[in-house]
């Protein structure tokens, strides 16, 4: 009886497991970090825009669909789903199939170029633009990052739309999953930021998926471009 009571007491008094990645204010991170992928180096084209069937490089990071070892599947609504288990070592970026990887187009909501992760329906259908997965492989490890997400355009009759969610998973250079989080999305633009516990710079890559009925566009990915000293 005494032993059982001690076990219960020990369990209740044990410290909680610290969160590995914590939400951070996007505006604050933008002032701290010196790298940004805004997609403005590409020409402005209306949707469907420019299609990339391969991994594409912007200064500081490569963009693709997933990492080697992750399993791709699809939701009944056609959104990409990826297993969040550890990826293979070392972390290796993979593109999606032809017309199902990434596209960049001018986005009226952002009033600038933005990235459309392409889903199962592909670039040729509006139902395929924004439903896909985005994987980011940084040139060097990060302690914080952020991005902006646009969900949908206003409905003509003013009806309240059904909003989805955004999922993000963080990986080390060895392919180990650090943390995975799930976020509500607002109508229009949502700004999201994340910071590693104790500012440990070991985030080598992230994978972003979503469940928004209309898909999402992604812009202004912020990170540390200059490698940390030491």
Report domain extents, the chain: 18-158+172-223
What is the predicted pLDDT for the residue at 158? 53
* Residue 198: pLDDT band with limits 50, 70, 90: very high
CB neighbours of residue 77 within 10 Å: 14
DSSP annotation string for 31-45: HH--EEE-STTSPP-
Q: Are 191 and 178 in contact (CB under 8 A)?
A: no
CB neighbours of residue 101 within 10 Å: 25
Query: Which tokens in the block code for residue 100?
Result: 């199902």
Give per-residue pLDDT as tens, 211-220: 999 999 999 9
What percent of the chain has pLDDT above 70?
A: 87
Q: Are 53 and 103 in contact (CB under 8 A)?
A: no
What is the distance between the alpha carbons of residues 170 and 150, in angstroms, rounded to a whole number?
Answer: 21
What is the predicted pLDDT for the residue at 160? 52
Query: Which tokens in the block code for residue 36?
Result: 């940004």
What is the distance between the alpha carbons of residues 210 and 221, in angstroms, rounded to a whole number?
Answer: 16
Decide if pLDDT at 228 tops 90: no
- Mean predicted confidence (pLDDT) in 88-109: 97
Q: Is the dihedral of CA 131, 72, 94, 147 positive or negative?
A: positive
Answering whether pTM is above 0.85, one says yes
Decide if pLDDT at 103 tops 90: yes
Closest CA to 180 of 202, 201, 209: 209
């Amino acid at each position: 009886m005494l032993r059982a009571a001690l076990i219960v007491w020990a369990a209740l008094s044990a410290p909680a497991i610290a969160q590995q990645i914590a939400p951070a204010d996007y505006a604050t991170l933008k002032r701290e970090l010196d790298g940004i992928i805004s997609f403005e180096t590409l020409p402005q084209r209306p949707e469907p825009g420019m299609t990339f069937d391969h991994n594409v490089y912007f200064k500081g990071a490569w963009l693709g669909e997933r990492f080697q070892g992750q399993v791709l599947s699809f939701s009944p609504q056609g959104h990409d789903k990826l297993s969040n288990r550890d990826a293979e070592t070392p972390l290796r970026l993979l593109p999606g199939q032809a017309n199902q990887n990434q596209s960049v187009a001018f986005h009226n909501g952002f009033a600038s170029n933005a990235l459309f992760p392409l889903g199962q329906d592909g670039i040729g259908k509006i139902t395929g633009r924004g439903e896909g997965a985005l994987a980011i492989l940084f040139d060097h490890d990060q302690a914080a990052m952020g991005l902006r997400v646009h969900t949908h355009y206003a409905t003509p009759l003013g009806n309240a739309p059904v909003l989805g969610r955004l999922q993000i998973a963080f990986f080390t250079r060895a392919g180990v999953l650090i943390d995975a989080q799930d976020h509500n999305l607002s109508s229009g633009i949502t700004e999201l930021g994340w910071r590693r516990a104790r500012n440990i710079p070991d985030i080598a890559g992230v994978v972003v998926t979503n469940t928004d009925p209309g898909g999402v566009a992604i812009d202004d990915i912020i990170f540390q471009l200059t490698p940390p000293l030491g």
